Amino acid sequence: MEGYINFLKAPGNTSHQCVAFFRKMLGMKKIGHAGTLDPGAAGVLPICLGKGTKAADYLLESSKIYRAELYLGVTTDTQDAYGKITGGSCFKDISEERVREIFGEFRGKITQVPPMYSAVKHKGKPLYKLARQGEVIPRKAREVMIYSLEILDINLPRVLFQVECSKGTYVRTLAVDIGERLGTGAYLSFLLRVKSGPFMIEESYTQEELEVKMGEGNIQQCILPLDYAYGHFPDAVLKEEALIPFINGVPQPLTGLKNYSLWDKILRVYSPEGTFLALGEWQTGCSQPMLKPKKIFRQG
Protein backbone atom coordinates (compact mmCIF):
# COMPACT_ATOMS: atom_id res chain seq x y z
CA MET A 1 0.00 0.00 0.00
CA GLU A 2 1.80 3.11 -1.23
CA GLY A 3 0.93 6.50 -2.63
CA TYR A 4 -1.20 9.29 -1.18
CA ILE A 5 -4.60 9.89 0.36
CA ASN A 6 -6.17 13.30 -0.05
CA PHE A 7 -7.46 13.67 3.51
CA LEU A 8 -9.99 16.29 4.61
CA LYS A 9 -8.89 17.13 8.13
CA ALA A 10 -11.61 18.28 10.52
CA PRO A 11 -10.98 20.89 13.24
CA GLY A 12 -9.84 19.49 16.58
CA ASN A 13 -7.10 17.01 15.74
CA THR A 14 -3.42 17.72 15.26
CA SER A 15 -1.75 16.63 12.03
CA HIS A 16 0.21 14.08 14.08
CA GLN A 17 -3.04 12.61 15.42
CA CYS A 18 -4.30 12.28 11.85
CA VAL A 19 -1.21 10.26 10.93
CA ALA A 20 -1.80 8.05 13.99
CA PHE A 21 -5.37 7.41 12.77
CA PHE A 22 -4.08 6.21 9.40
CA ARG A 23 -1.41 4.01 10.97
CA LYS A 24 -4.04 2.29 13.08
CA MET A 25 -6.63 1.98 10.31
CA LEU A 26 -4.20 0.69 7.67
CA GLY A 27 -1.97 -1.30 10.02
CA MET A 28 1.27 0.17 8.72
CA LYS A 29 3.94 2.41 10.22
CA LYS A 30 5.47 4.15 7.21
CA ILE A 31 2.96 7.00 6.98
CA GLY A 32 3.49 10.75 7.14
CA HIS A 33 1.81 13.99 6.15
CA ALA A 34 2.91 16.80 3.82
CA GLY A 35 2.20 20.10 5.53
CA THR A 36 1.06 20.68 9.11
CA LEU A 37 -2.38 22.16 9.77
CA ASP A 38 -3.13 23.85 13.09
CA PRO A 39 -5.44 21.79 15.35
CA GLY A 40 -8.27 24.29 14.89
CA ALA A 41 -7.87 24.44 11.11
CA ALA A 42 -9.57 22.21 8.57
CA GLY A 43 -8.92 21.21 4.99
CA VAL A 44 -6.56 19.31 2.73
CA LEU A 45 -3.87 17.29 4.52
CA PRO A 46 -1.97 15.05 2.07
CA ILE A 47 -1.21 11.69 3.70
CA CYS A 48 1.84 9.86 2.32
CA LEU A 49 1.89 6.06 2.43
CA GLY A 50 4.93 3.80 2.08
CA LYS A 51 7.20 5.04 -0.69
CA GLY A 52 4.91 8.05 -1.00
CA THR A 53 6.73 9.48 2.02
CA LYS A 54 9.63 10.16 -0.35
CA ALA A 55 7.50 12.90 -1.93
CA ALA A 56 6.96 14.81 1.32
CA ASP A 57 9.76 17.30 0.60
CA TYR A 58 8.35 18.14 -2.83
CA LEU A 59 4.83 18.51 -1.50
CA LEU A 60 6.00 20.75 1.35
CA GLU A 61 7.64 23.06 -1.19
CA SER A 62 4.45 23.45 -3.24
CA SER A 63 2.14 26.43 -2.84
CA LYS A 64 -1.00 26.25 -0.69
CA ILE A 65 -4.40 27.93 -1.02
CA TYR A 66 -6.42 28.84 2.06
CA ARG A 67 -9.84 30.34 2.68
CA ALA A 68 -9.77 32.29 5.91
CA GLU A 69 -11.48 34.95 7.97
CA LEU A 70 -9.95 37.66 10.12
CA TYR A 71 -11.79 39.38 12.93
CA LEU A 72 -10.88 43.02 13.52
CA GLY A 73 -10.68 44.79 16.86
CA VAL A 74 -9.47 41.86 18.99
CA THR A 75 -6.06 40.20 19.46
CA THR A 76 -5.26 36.85 21.06
CA ASP A 77 -2.06 35.22 22.28
CA THR A 78 -2.32 32.42 19.71
CA GLN A 79 -3.37 34.71 16.83
CA ASP A 80 -6.53 32.65 16.36
CA ALA A 81 -9.90 32.04 18.01
CA TYR A 82 -8.52 29.45 20.43
CA GLY A 83 -6.29 31.79 22.44
CA LYS A 84 -6.75 34.27 25.27
CA ILE A 85 -7.79 37.80 24.38
CA THR A 86 -4.85 40.15 24.81
CA GLY A 87 -6.14 43.46 23.44
CA GLY A 88 -7.55 45.27 20.43
CA SER A 89 -9.28 48.54 19.60
CA CYS A 90 -12.41 49.85 17.93
CA PHE A 91 -12.90 49.07 14.23
CA LYS A 92 -15.91 51.33 13.60
CA ASP A 93 -13.88 54.07 11.88
CA ILE A 94 -12.38 51.57 9.39
CA SER A 95 -13.93 51.67 5.92
CA GLU A 96 -14.15 48.84 3.40
CA GLU A 97 -11.96 50.90 1.06
CA ARG A 98 -9.26 51.10 3.74
CA VAL A 99 -9.43 47.34 4.29
CA ARG A 100 -8.96 46.69 0.57
CA GLU A 101 -6.08 49.16 0.43
CA ILE A 102 -4.21 47.47 3.29
CA PHE A 103 -4.80 43.98 1.87
CA GLY A 104 -3.10 45.17 -1.29
CA GLU A 105 0.10 45.84 0.67
CA PHE A 106 0.46 42.14 1.53
CA ARG A 107 0.73 40.73 -1.99
CA GLY A 108 4.09 39.54 -3.31
CA LYS A 109 7.17 39.02 -1.13
CA ILE A 110 6.56 39.88 2.51
CA THR A 111 8.31 39.14 5.79
CA GLN A 112 6.73 37.43 8.78
CA VAL A 113 7.86 36.71 12.30
CA PRO A 114 6.77 33.14 13.16
CA PRO A 115 4.24 33.11 16.03
CA MET A 116 5.19 31.72 19.43
CA TYR A 117 2.36 29.21 19.09
CA SER A 118 4.00 27.36 16.18
CA ALA A 119 6.01 24.21 15.52
CA VAL A 120 9.19 26.19 14.81
CA LYS A 121 11.89 24.82 17.08
CA HIS A 122 14.20 26.67 19.48
CA LYS A 123 17.11 24.56 20.73
CA GLY A 124 15.21 21.44 19.69
CA LYS A 125 11.95 22.35 21.41
CA PRO A 126 8.80 23.54 19.59
CA LEU A 127 7.96 27.17 20.30
CA TYR A 128 4.37 26.34 21.26
CA LYS A 129 5.61 24.26 24.20
CA LEU A 130 7.69 27.20 25.41
CA ALA A 131 4.73 29.53 24.89
CA ARG A 132 2.56 27.33 27.11
CA GLN A 133 5.19 27.79 29.83
CA GLY A 134 4.90 31.55 29.49
CA GLU A 135 8.19 32.02 27.64
CA VAL A 136 8.65 34.40 24.71
CA ILE A 137 11.65 33.67 22.47
CA PRO A 138 13.00 36.23 19.97
CA ARG A 139 12.29 35.00 16.43
CA LYS A 140 13.85 36.08 13.15
CA ALA A 141 11.63 37.41 10.38
CA ARG A 142 11.26 35.15 7.35
CA GLU A 143 10.52 36.02 3.75
CA VAL A 144 7.47 34.33 2.23
CA MET A 145 5.56 34.80 -1.01
CA ILE A 146 1.89 35.76 -1.26
CA TYR A 147 0.99 34.80 -4.83
CA SER A 148 -2.59 36.04 -4.57
CA LEU A 149 -4.73 37.62 -1.86
CA GLU A 150 -8.41 38.14 -2.63
CA ILE A 151 -11.12 39.56 -0.39
CA LEU A 152 -14.28 37.46 -0.78
CA ASP A 153 -16.57 39.34 1.59
CA ILE A 154 -16.43 42.22 4.05
CA ASN A 155 -18.90 42.31 6.93
CA LEU A 156 -16.98 44.28 9.54
CA PRO A 157 -15.50 43.27 11.89
CA ARG A 158 -15.17 40.12 9.75
CA VAL A 159 -13.24 39.90 6.48
CA LEU A 160 -13.39 36.67 4.47
CA PHE A 161 -10.45 36.17 2.11
CA GLN A 162 -8.56 33.63 0.04
CA VAL A 163 -4.78 33.45 -0.16
CA GLU A 164 -2.32 31.43 -2.23
CA CYS A 165 1.05 31.40 -0.52
CA SER A 166 4.42 29.73 -0.36
CA LYS A 167 5.77 27.18 2.08
CA GLY A 168 6.30 28.60 5.56
CA THR A 169 3.53 31.21 5.42
CA TYR A 170 1.49 31.63 8.61
CA VAL A 171 -2.00 32.77 7.67
CA ARG A 172 -2.61 33.57 11.35
CA THR A 173 0.30 35.99 11.26
CA LEU A 174 -0.92 37.45 7.97
CA ALA A 175 -4.26 38.27 9.61
CA VAL A 176 -2.55 39.77 12.66
CA ASP A 177 -0.20 41.90 10.54
CA ILE A 178 -3.13 43.24 8.50
CA GLY A 179 -4.93 44.10 11.75
CA GLU A 180 -1.87 45.97 12.98
CA ARG A 181 -1.67 47.99 9.75
CA LEU A 182 -5.34 48.88 10.15
CA GLY A 183 -4.63 50.00 13.69
CA THR A 184 -7.30 47.82 15.28
CA GLY A 185 -5.60 44.48 15.84
CA ALA A 186 -7.06 41.23 14.55
CA TYR A 187 -7.04 37.47 14.92
CA LEU A 188 -7.76 34.62 12.53
CA SER A 189 -11.25 33.34 13.25
CA PHE A 190 -11.43 30.61 10.60
CA LEU A 191 -8.97 28.68 8.40
CA LEU A 192 -9.62 26.13 5.65
CA ARG A 193 -6.92 24.79 3.33
CA VAL A 194 -8.57 24.24 -0.04
CA LYS A 195 -5.48 23.19 -2.04
CA SER A 196 -2.03 21.81 -1.27
CA GLY A 197 0.10 21.23 -4.35
CA PRO A 198 -1.98 18.97 -6.63
CA PHE A 199 -4.40 17.98 -3.84
CA MET A 200 -7.76 19.79 -3.97
CA ILE A 201 -10.50 19.86 -1.36
CA GLU A 202 -13.16 18.81 -3.90
CA GLU A 203 -11.41 15.45 -4.24
CA SER A 204 -10.63 14.85 -0.55
CA TYR A 205 -12.02 12.21 1.82
CA THR A 206 -13.27 12.70 5.37
CA GLN A 207 -12.34 10.30 8.16
CA GLU A 208 -15.86 8.86 8.12
CA GLU A 209 -15.76 8.23 4.36
CA LEU A 210 -12.43 6.47 4.66
CA GLU A 211 -13.64 4.27 7.50
CA VAL A 212 -16.58 3.19 5.33
CA LYS A 213 -14.26 2.43 2.41
CA MET A 214 -12.00 0.44 4.72
CA GLY A 215 -14.93 -1.56 6.04
CA GLU A 216 -16.06 -2.35 2.49
CA GLY A 217 -12.55 -3.41 1.48
CA ASN A 218 -12.36 -0.56 -1.04
CA ILE A 219 -9.73 1.66 0.58
CA GLN A 220 -7.42 1.16 -2.42
CA GLN A 221 -9.85 3.30 -4.43
CA CYS A 222 -8.85 6.28 -2.28
CA ILE A 223 -5.08 5.88 -2.75
CA LEU A 224 -3.47 8.01 -5.44
CA PRO A 225 -0.44 6.59 -7.32
CA LEU A 226 3.16 7.46 -6.52
CA ASP A 227 3.62 9.72 -9.53
CA TYR A 228 0.60 11.87 -8.60
CA ALA A 229 2.77 14.23 -6.56
CA TYR A 230 5.07 14.84 -9.52
CA GLY A 231 2.52 15.54 -12.24
CA HIS A 232 4.05 18.98 -12.88
CA PHE A 233 7.25 17.35 -14.18
CA PRO A 234 7.44 16.04 -17.80
CA ASP A 235 7.95 12.35 -18.35
CA ALA A 236 10.64 10.17 -19.89
CA VAL A 237 10.38 6.51 -20.93
CA LEU A 238 13.31 4.14 -20.74
CA LYS A 239 14.10 1.54 -23.34
CA GLU A 240 14.04 -2.04 -22.05
CA GLU A 241 17.81 -2.44 -22.05
CA ALA A 242 18.27 0.74 -19.98
CA LEU A 243 15.70 -0.10 -17.30
CA ILE A 244 17.76 -2.24 -14.89
CA PRO A 245 20.96 -0.17 -15.16
CA PHE A 246 19.01 3.06 -14.52
CA ILE A 247 17.17 1.91 -11.39
CA ASN A 248 20.48 0.55 -10.14
CA GLY A 249 21.93 4.06 -10.35
CA VAL A 250 23.59 4.15 -13.77
CA PRO A 251 22.98 7.37 -15.80
CA GLN A 252 21.60 6.75 -19.29
CA PRO A 253 22.39 8.53 -22.59
CA LEU A 254 19.69 9.61 -25.01
CA THR A 255 20.02 6.29 -26.83
CA GLY A 256 18.59 4.58 -23.72
CA LEU A 257 15.40 6.68 -23.77
CA LYS A 258 12.26 6.31 -25.85
CA ASN A 259 11.10 9.86 -25.21
CA TYR A 260 12.27 12.74 -23.05
CA SER A 261 12.45 16.52 -22.67
CA LEU A 262 15.80 18.30 -22.68
CA TRP A 263 14.19 21.55 -21.60
CA ASP A 264 13.31 20.45 -18.06
CA LYS A 265 15.83 19.60 -15.36
CA ILE A 266 13.74 16.95 -13.57
CA LEU A 267 11.68 14.23 -15.26
CA ARG A 268 9.31 11.46 -14.22
CA VAL A 269 10.86 8.21 -15.46
CA TYR A 270 8.77 5.22 -16.58
CA SER A 271 9.38 1.69 -17.82
CA PRO A 272 8.40 0.78 -21.41
CA GLU A 273 5.17 -0.68 -19.93
CA GLY A 274 4.29 2.59 -18.17
CA THR A 275 5.36 1.76 -14.59
CA PHE A 276 6.59 4.78 -12.64
CA LEU A 277 10.18 4.07 -11.63
CA ALA A 278 11.92 7.21 -10.45
CA LEU A 279 12.62 10.88 -10.76
CA GLY A 280 15.56 11.61 -13.02
CA GLU A 281 17.65 14.71 -13.67
CA TRP A 282 20.02 15.68 -16.42
CA GLN A 283 23.65 15.26 -15.47
CA THR A 284 25.76 18.33 -16.14
CA GLY A 285 29.38 18.50 -17.24
CA CYS A 286 29.10 15.59 -19.68
CA SER A 287 30.06 15.47 -23.35
CA GLN A 288 26.50 14.33 -24.11
CA PRO A 289 23.22 14.56 -22.15
CA MET A 290 22.90 11.83 -19.51
CA LEU A 291 19.77 11.19 -17.43
CA LYS A 292 20.69 10.08 -13.93
CA PRO A 293 18.41 8.81 -11.13
CA LYS A 294 17.47 11.44 -8.56
CA LYS A 295 14.92 9.54 -6.46
CA ILE A 296 14.20 5.85 -7.13
CA PHE A 297 10.83 4.32 -6.27
CA ARG A 298 11.22 0.86 -7.81
CA GLN A 299 14.24 -1.31 -7.15
CA GLY A 300 15.74 -3.73 -9.67
**So which residues are the catalytic ones?**
38
| CB contact at 8 A, 18 and 48 | no
Other C-beta atoms lying within 10 Å of the C-beta of residue 250: 13
CA distance 182 to 255: 62
CA distance 288 to 157: 62
DSSP 141-188: -EEEEEEEEEEEEEETTEEEEEEEE-TT--HHHHHHHHHHHHTS-EEE
| CB contact at 8 A, 105 and 157 | no
DSSP 93-142: T--HHHHHHHHHTTSEEEEEPPPSSSS-EETTEEHHHHHHTT-------E
3 state DSSP class of 238: strand
